[in-house]
Amino acid sequence: MTDEFVPPRKRTGWRRLLGYNLLTALILAVVGYYVGWIAGHHVTGKSVAYFSDIDQNDISVFLAYILAVIGFLLGLGFGAYPFARVRGYPPSLREKESEGIGRYFSLCTDHKVVGIQYLFGIGVFFFIGGVNAMLIRFELLRPSMQAFPAGQYLTLVGLHGTMMMGIMSSAILGPFANYVVPLMIGARRMAFPRIESLTFWILMAAGTVLATTVFFGGFPTGWTGYQPLNDQANAGMDSYIVFFALVGISMTLLGLNMIATIVTMRAPGLTWSRLPIFCWGVLSTAILNLLAAPVLVAVLGMAMLDRTAQTSFFLPSAGGSPYLYENLFWVFGHPEVYILALPGMGIVLELLPVFARKPLWGYRLAVSGLLGVTLLSWLVWQHHLFVSGINSDLRPFYMLSTELISIPTGFTFLCGLMTLWRGQIRYTVPLLFCLAWFFNFLIGGLSGVFLSDVPSDTTTHGSFFSMAHFHYTIMGGLVFAFFAAIYFWVPKMFGLQLNERLGKIHFWTMFISFNSTFAPLFVIGFLDQPRRAVTYAPSLQFLNDWVSISAFVLGASMLVFVGNLVYSLLFVRLPAPANPWDSRSLEWQLPSPVPVHNFDRIPVIAGDPYDYGSAAPPVAVVPAGGVS
């Protein structure tokens, strides 16, 4: 092969702005948007279904969004390779892997760059979702309306929920699995590097589309998009549909890429029984991504056809049924809950042996727990419809299947706790977040029993009780693990240390305020305050005020984290040791930050990543000879 490298000529001045980059992408997105808008008005001069009398043209809105996203992706350079393939050029793997800061703002096929792109991209939308939460709690400081009318409040709740559920689906797989999994398995790249980058940029386009719903009047359905409201809502609903469909496409491709990478690209010697438990968590999640997200895309496609082509999938008067949507949505929606939870379990189990200085207890049991949750998560979706008029004969099955899922979940708990048992525990910031995960997820799991049990669900469903439950499960399970991962792997990603003291302040303020925010919501729920209602009984004001103030402190704790990030990475810039946690995992045997190609030679895995305290051989050895 020819290995000649011709350095790029440096562009100067405004010429640097030319080419495939974020600026071009934004310009083409705007052009695409208006082309779609105009084309939509030519397809049909007036709107369809419910909207003809108010001059609303959903075809225009959908076309505008779709062409805007296509323009955005073309501007980033995603069209060049497929076009080259159409003309017969052979496959290649890499683009923009060794250029400077610009690679973070365009298509880059280096999995480490994509991981960092995900970290900051998701952070932006997490911030927007968090600001929405603050506004919701501000509104609920008083029992009557104060800042937002009911319609705007519903949009606010919907934006918060949809942004968090959609974008945070990739919160672990996006930044950490993309960055770490190839390093852990001894690979130089992901199986499909362009698809890896595509998943990120689709997600960013999706988040932007959702944010623009405010220009079309918002949407009234919350994150579930239930029918018949979905069909009847104004054009803001189109933003929701396009957003979640894009998220579904991104999730499917992310899952496909992860599975292909783990299955086919493991280094020699990395048998399934030596695979790091985090990779098992990623694999389980990726399976759910691959199979559940297409159902979401399909059902949203049906909703789009109802709103544009006058089909009647969800219109009972024309042969459809809103329950069709509810069923199909939850076929995706309940595995989605585990898409959020499983990677958190993987991170906690991965980090505990490092800080307990003990092997992972019950490795096979932990793996079976993760796979058991993956399997059972398909059999529980109708517990969301217990009070929606489903056939009562179906209830016992879904009640039992939901309660059954606590068994494999319990396996992961058992393995985690037994790993800590008699360990030489180091109370670092990542470990504190892992310990908080146990506490939060336990409360989330126990309160889930009330919602899986039909008699208690009939009184708690739709109240703040269920809201408290899923925040304990998802924020307590996912976001705490997310921060554990950040504190653990940032030294690897940037080669710099985060400030330990600020990290601990962040942890304690977040942990205390999180519990102070969501624990009282169980009580508020038992006292019958419904979700998504802007007013509530005056007798509940004290509890609501308590929750709101705690939520503001929770929001402030995030600012401590952002401050730590800025302070440590931009100002102090203290170099991190090569292996600050004394981990045996393969990614910590590499320099920080990791070189573009990861490994000079593909290593041979010769040991177990969790053999702490034993005289086992090193985890990886480098084969003598040429490049593998």
1 touching another protein, by CB under 8 A:
yes
627 touching another protein, by CB under 8 A:
yes
418 touching another protein, by CB under 8 A:
no
Q: Which of 35, 41, 210, 189 is nearest to 109 (CA)?
A: 189
Burial class from Cβ neighbours inside 10 Å (0-12, 13-18, 19+) for residue 617 reads: exposed
Instruction: Find the angle CA(535)-CA(539)-CA(540) to the nearest 5 degrees.
Output: 60
Asked if the bond preceding 618 is cis, omega within 30° of 0, the reply is no
603 touching another protein, by CB under 8 A:
yes
Interaction with another protein in 536-555: which residues (CB under 8 A)? none
Residues paired with residue 621 on neighbouring β-strands, in sequence order: 604
625 touching another protein, by CB under 8 A:
no
Shortest distance, position 591 Cβ to another protein, whole Å: 5
Residues paired with residue 463 on neighbouring β-strands, in sequence order: 530
Shortest distance, position 78 Cβ to another protein, whole Å: 12
320 touching another protein, by CB under 8 A:
yes
Interaction with another protein in 59-88: which residues (CB under 8 A)? 81-82, 85-88
Determine which residue in the list 22, 131, 134, 260 makes contact with another protein, applying CB under 8 A. Answer: 260
Determine which residue in the list 109, 250, 509, 515 makes contact with another protein, applying CB under 8 A. Answer: 109
264 touching another protein, by CB under 8 A:
yes
Asked if the bond preceding 593 is cis, omega within 30° of 0, the reply is yes
Residue 335 token pair: 């595995």
Shortest distance, position 586 Cβ to another protein, whole Å: 8
516 touching another protein, by CB under 8 A:
no
Interaction with another protein in 200-259: which residues (CB under 8 A)? 252, 255-256, 259
DSSP alpha helix (H) spans, 309-360: 322-356
Binding mask 147-186 for another protein (x = CB under 8 A): ----------------------------------------
Determine which residue in the list 22, 44, 97, 232 makes contact with another protein, applying CB under 8 A. Answer: 97
597 touching another protein, by CB under 8 A:
yes
With b meaning 16 or more CB within 10 Å and e meaning fewer, what string describes 325-354?
bbbbbbbbbbbbbbbbbbbbbbbbbbbbbb
The residue range among 168-176, 212-220, 401-409, 620-628 that interacts with another protein, by the rule CB under 8 A, is 620-628
Shortest distance, position 186 Cβ to another protein, whole Å: 8
The residue range among 145-153, 262-270, 416-424, 502-510 that interacts with another protein, by the rule CB under 8 A, is 262-270
Rounded Cα distance, 525 and 411, in Å: 30
Q: 505 vs 616, which CB is nearer to another protein?
A: 616
Helix axes 193-211, 58-76, angle to 10 degrees: 140
Binding mask 289-318 for another protein (x = CB under 8 A): -xxxxxx-xxx-xx--xx--xxxxx--xxx
Q: 5 vs 427, which CB is nearer to another protein?
A: 5
Q: 96 vs 160, which CB is nearer to another protein?
A: 96
197 touching another protein, by CB under 8 A:
no
DSSP alpha helix (H) spans, 21-89: 22-43, 58-76, 80-86
Binding residues with another protein: total (CB under 8 A): 84
- CB-based contacts of 550, cutoff 8 Å, min separation 6: 513, 516, 517, 520
Binding mask 324-343 for another protein (x = CB under 8 A): x--xx--x------------
Residue that is written with structure tokens 């669900």 in the block: 457
- CB-based contacts of 41, cutoff 8 Å, min separation 6: 57, 60
Cα of 577 vs its chain's centroid, Å: 30
Q: 131 vs 297, which CB is nearer to another protein?
A: 297
How would you classify the pairing of strands 620-621 and 604-605? Answer: antiparallel
CB 196 within 8 A of CB 113: no
Residue 75 token pair: 């501007």
Q: 260 vs 512, which CB is nearer to another protein?
A: 260
566 touching another protein, by CB under 8 A:
no
Q: 244 vs 511, which CB is nearer to another protein?
A: 244
